[in-house]
Amino acid sequence: MKRQLIQIVLGGMLFAAALIVPAALQLGLFVLAYLVCGGDVLYRSVRNVARGEWLDENFLMSLATLGAFAIREYPEAVAVMLFYQTGEFFLHWAVHRSRRSVRSLMELQPHTVWIKQGDKWAEVKPQSVQKGDVFWVKPGERVPIDGVVRKGRSLIDASALTGESLPYCASAGQELLAGVIALDGELELQALRPYASSAIAKILELVENASAKKTPTERFITRFARYYTPAVVAAALLTAFVPPLLLPDASLKVWLYRALIFLVISCPCALVLSVPLGFFGGIGAAARRGILIKGSGSLEGLAKGSIIVFDKTGTLTRGQFEVSGVYPAGGFSKEQLLELAAYAESASTHPLAQAIVKAYGQEIDRTRLADMREKAGLGVFARVDGREVFAGKKSGLGAVSEEQTPQLEQTAVFVAVDGVYAGALALADAVKPDAAQAVAALKKLGFAQSIMLTGDRPQPARLAARQCGVDKVYASLLPADKVGAVEQLLKEKKPGSTLLFAGDGINDAPVLARADVGIAMGALGSDAAIEAADVVLTDDKLSKIPQAVVLSRFTVQIVKQNILFSLLVKAAVMGLGILGLANLWEAVFADVGVAVLAVLNSLRPLACKK
């Protein structure tokens, strides 16, 4: 860009000098100014012709400006090349600015890492770190490899990786992803995986390869430019030579000038540059929000979404059971019932047992416990303060009548003390805090259906669906059943629209791959998610799905604006040029000026606050 700026300044000075010097010196200064401004354009044109790739903007600009010299329109020839180079300078600046948001992610990539080798520490490249190696992170440094904390304590800034603004505290036993920053403490960690499989390496690979997959719009523009350019060259030749042959008063110089205008305006650079750049800007803006989109095709698919399908466990819900209700009986209080159940379940590793102990929230006094045993398929038995306590399924209660036990939609653990029914605890897989908000936001965006597919039982599935505002529920599904349900929904959706599926990225990989757009939730550690999904969210926030849809629609709208604006202006100036109502200056504005405006328009997703 610096060299190009020098060309513009020096060429402009020579051009200005040529306009004021005596006529005898003008031609030499015009030629010199032209070579300074357009020498590289001429070189690229000759080089591309030698390669057989001559129908590009370099060839068109060279042909048009040399033609202007041939008909002695020296000032316009130089001005066209000067304006073209100025426009190219602003185009490069705009491209640089759009890539800067993605380049900021590259700063997350570590250059070195301190690893422990025997009793010493050695500084090595991250690519040489293996699973199990011990490494060290100082305050203010980025964690270079996915690892688990062995020693130390520090506040962690994960904003650049996940978009989460608030720091959190990390201590021994906690896993940290590569790219997060240790703010105020030293940490000793053990590598969980090699660098190539780390979270930051996956992010960088996704973003770097995002532009490789073209959308139908981009493929159309590429084909359009391939046939459009030779067509306009042929049209320019016809414009230059047919009217002088057919019309008695037609001047060859006049029609040749009009043909040159036609050539300048015909350059398709506004379309060829701005369309992929618009998508790239949207992908970069999403990446800054912790939404990794695997290409412009996936971004365009998000924009066309009309049906959203969710997995339940780990997607709409936390994937962890919590006590949601305590229903005592037989004279027991809620506190007594929860305490007895927690003591009875304290030795069990079952998720429901752990949830009850967590809800109790107090230390278990082992001296109060005796004769603990578990009966497979029924529940657990234990003596608590000398009383026999049972906690488990209703069928383990014995002869308790149906009237005594409550009918609960959630998963329930029933408790009996000394053979007498004492109450029940309801447990539910807690819905994520932003689940209902995300579903409501998607409905406001025009999604016709929201659907849950789950392998869970119908009752808890329906309860979670009501809490989230989901329209339909399909429960007790095997993985193959989920794929079948999605295939049926794909047949029913409106033509031109897409079906989005959000899952936790591991067991949902087949459905993620089958949907029009698969969205993996918080799945940076999952190779299956990265491979199968089209969109990867760096955390578990469902609210990022409507954000992604809004940003994708905004980006696609900008791309359509660029296409329409470019074609309308070019068509208008082409018509004016053929009628003799436009000159080369106006043609250059319609070409380079429109390209600059379109590219600047493509930067808007980077500033999108939605």
Q: Which residues are catalytic?
A: 311
| 181-182, strands of its sheet edge to edge | 168-170, 154-157, 181-182
Q: What is the C-alpha separation between 276 and 214, in angstroms, rounded?
A: 8
CA dihedral (314, 207, 284, 434) in degrees, to 10, reads 0
Task: Specify burial of residue 24 (Cβ count, 10 A radius: 0-12, 13-18, 19+).
Answer: exposed
Give the chain's radius of gyration (CA, Å): 34
Q: What is the C-alpha separation between 508 and 103, in angstroms, rounded?
A: 31
- Two tokens at 323? 């006590």
Strands 168-170 and 379-384: unpaired
SS3 at position 508: coil
Q: What is the C-alpha separation between 605 and 279, in angstroms, rounded?
A: 9
Q: What is the C-alpha separation between 278 and 284, in angstroms, rounded?
A: 10
Q: What is the C-alpha separation between 361 and 380, in angstroms, rounded?
A: 20
Residue in the structure block whose two tokens are 């129908």: 55
Residue in the structure block whose two tokens are 């040029």: 577
Neighbour tally for 225: CB within 10 Å: 17
Q: Which helix (H) or strand (E) covers residue 535, if one does?
A: strand 535-537
Strands 449-453 and 305-311: parallel
- Two tokens at 489? 């929904």
Q: What is the C-alpha separation between 86 and 95, in angstroms, rounded?
A: 14
Residues in CB range of 446: below 8 A, 6 or more apart: 306
Residue in the structure block whose two tokens are 């989005």: 500
Which of 589, 605, 609 lies closest to 101, judged by CA?
605
DSSP 314: I
Q: What is the C-alpha separation between 198 and 416, in angstroms, rounded?
A: 49
Count how many Cα atoms sit within 13 Å of the Cα of residue 318 in the half-sphere of its side chain.
11
SS3 at position 461: helix
- Two tokens at 136? 């060290």
CA distances (Å), 217 to each of 228, 389, 556, in order? 16, 67, 10
Contact between 454 and 461 under an 8 Å Cβ cutoff? The reply is: yes
Beta strand segments in 385-469, E: 387-392, 411-417, 420-431, 449-453
Q: What is the C-alpha separation between 133 and 147, in angstroms, rounded?
A: 9
DSSP3 helix / strand / coil % (the chain, rounded to 5): 55, 20, 25
Contact between 14 and 36 under an 8 Å Cβ cutoff? The reply is: yes
